Amino acid sequence: MLRSGKSFRDIYDLIGIRVIVNDLGTCYQALGVIHQAFRPKIGRLKDYIAIPKHNGYQSIHTTVFGLDGVLTEFQIRTYDMHLENEYGVAAHYFYSDKKKKSPKKDKKYLWVQRILDLQRSTSSNQKFMEDLKLDIFEDRIFVFTPKGDVVDLPVGSTVIDLAYHIHSDLGMLAVGAKVNGRPVPLSTRLSSGDTVHVETSEESEGPEVEWLDLAHTSLAKTRIREFLKEKNRTDSIQAGEDALDYELHVLGTPGLNALSDLQKVMAFERFAKSSWEELLNELGRGSVDMKDLLHVLFTEDELIGKSKDDMHLVHLEVFTQNRLGLLRDLSNVLAKLNINIRGLTAEQSKNVETVSILFVLEIISLTQFESMLRELRKVSGVLKIVRLQTPESKTPSSKRSRKVRAQ
């Protein structure tokens, strides 16, 4: 009570009655009988049968004004649900009828299979526990497929995570999505209640190495890495080269042309590779982390500018679709990361469909800068992000630029 900030009057299950029935239909019949006999308390009906908890728990909970008006909680479930809730998923292997289909085929056991998949694909126990905390025990969201099926995912999941959660092939062929009827990029972060349609194409060449930064769940990242490892070496080198060139342009450099031979030698030796091409190959396959490589190639001041009073003043240009609420969403990301906006201008394109927004931001560390880039890319409508080396690198004309009010 102290930990959750509740008073004694907020506790509704001091008196609890468990109702165990034979089948699913009888659960809802029993609920109707209880609500006919006692007045239900508004807001205290929870249907964990229709939408189970992420660990498979199923039951209907309802709180009513019982005898003499005393608040009483009823928990309604089938016998099979009761076994699982009380003794865990292993209970079905010992108590269920052998004539029934194997519980391994039920959807509610897929989370157990996910744990096994994580264990098999992880090289160390420490990494396995980190992934387990992320995918299994993290706070969850519930989203819907176009057919109305409920999918539960960790908070922070994107469309990419949903696609791989449903099926690996869906993730491999994904090219776009619609969330609540609106077209969005695959990097869009999902919220509870969203209805998501993943668009696919047989002509898709599969996931790119950049998806590793956009995916949130270890399941999606594992499937992406597996695909990238299957690609031939030439494709992997080209993918790594393209990804590095893109990141260097985001940082405001001329791309790969900015790297000296000495930097390349230092980098592949640091990662214990035989050559620069081999390092690009591993980068393209997802075995080398882009962030780690950038840290080897450049110092913090080279990546985000020299600091003054422990503060880096970063000029960032964000190219986006022109939509209502976009500036609010971008500002919310910056606020959550405790990034102060020193200046802000915007420039609308001639076709009115895209906008260029120039931020002047106070960044305290490279880690904060990298988190900012990762989160801004997930905002719906963001097309491209570039760090400007100097304020003069991009100066919108006074006729076309205008100060933008928060939406």
Q: What CATH number is associated with residue 174?
A: 3.10.20.30
Given 227, 249, 270, which residue is the final one in a domain? 227
Pairwise pLDDT comparison (403 vs 278), residue with the higher score: 278
CA gap 128, 115 in Å, rounded: 9
Instruction: Report which DSSP code applies to 293.
Output: H
Do 208 and 197 touch, CB atoms closer than 8 A? Answer: no
- 135, 219: one domain: yes
Mean pLDDT, residues 259-269 taken together: 92
What rounded mean pLDDT belongs to the chain? 81
- pLDDT range class, residue 125, cuts 50, 70, 90: low
Least confidently predicted of 101-110, 269-278, 319-328:
101-110
Distances, alpha carbon 215 to alpha carbons 62, 179, 225, 249, in Å: 37, 17, 11, 22
- 122, 185: one domain: yes
Q: What is the pLDDT of residue 154?
A: 86
The verdict on residue 92 lying in a domain is no
pLDDT of 398 over the 70 cut: no
Task: Say if residue 81 is exposed, middle or buried (CB neighbours under 10 Å; 0-12, 13-18, 19+).
Answer: buried
Distances, alpha carbon 297 to alpha carbons 181, 193, 283, 309, 310, in Å: 43, 43, 14, 25, 22
- pLDDT tens per residue, range 368-384: 998 999 899 999 999 98
- pLDDT range class, residue 120, cuts 50, 70, 90: low
Given 185, 208, 227, which residue is the final one in a domain? 227
Q: What is the pLDDT of residue 149?
A: 83
- 219, 235: one domain: no
pLDDT of 406 over the 60 cut: no
- pLDDT range class, residue 104, cuts 50, 70, 90: very low
- pLDDT tens per residue, range 160-193: 999 999 998 999 999 999 999 999 999 999 988 8
- pLDDT range class, residue 88, cuts 50, 70, 90: low
- 176, 118: one domain: yes
pLDDT of 129 over the 60 cut: no
Distances, alpha carbon 180 to alpha carbons 136, 159, 191, 380, in Å: 26, 12, 11, 13
Do 250 and 262 touch, CB atoms closer than 8 A? Answer: no
pLDDT of 395 over the 50 cut: no
SS3 content of the chain, % helix, strand, coil (to 5): 45, 25, 35
Mean pLDDT, residues 236-263 taken together: 89
Q: What percent of the chain has pLDDT over 70?
A: 78
User: Shortest CA distance to 190 belongs to which of 146, 148, 160?
Assistant: 160
- 361, 321: one domain: yes
Angle at which helices 290-297 and 261-270 cross, to 10°: 130
The verdict on residue 343 lying in a domain is yes
- 264, 333: one domain: no
- 217, 238: one domain: no
- 135, 207: one domain: yes
User: Shortest CA distance to 81 belongs to which of 103, 63, 99, 65?
Assistant: 103
- 124, 219: one domain: yes
pLDDT of 396 over the 50 cut: no
- pLDDT range class, residue 328, cuts 50, 70, 90: very high
- Boundaries of domain holding 398: 306-402
Q: What percent of the chain has pLDDT over 90?
A: 38
Q: How many domains does the chain have?
A: 4
pLDDT of 93 over the 60 cut: no
Q: How far is CA 187 from the centre of its chain?
A: 8
Pairwise pLDDT comparison (319 vs 406), residue with the higher score: 319
Q: What is the pLDDT of residue 133?
A: 53
CA gap 67, 47 in Å, rounded: 24
Angle at 213 between CA 281 and CA 182, to 5 degrees: 125
Sequence-separated (6 or more) residues with CB below 8 Å from residue 138: 154, 155, 156
The verdict on residue 106 lying in a domain is no
Q: What is the pLDDT of residue 197?
A: 95
Q: What is the pLDDT of residue 353?
A: 83
- 24, 78: one domain: yes
Mean pLDDT, residues 333-351 taken together: 88
The verdict on residue 128 lying in a domain is yes
Domain CATH for 66: 3.30.460.10
The verdict on residue 3 lying in a domain is no
Mean pLDDT, residues 44-52 taken together: 86
Given 182, 202, 227, which residue is the final one in a domain? 227
User: Shortest CA distance to 195 belongs to which of 142, 244, 132?
Assistant: 142
- pLDDT tens per residue, range 198-245: 999 998 888 988 898 899 988 899 889 888 877 778 888 999 999 999
- 310, 289: one domain: no
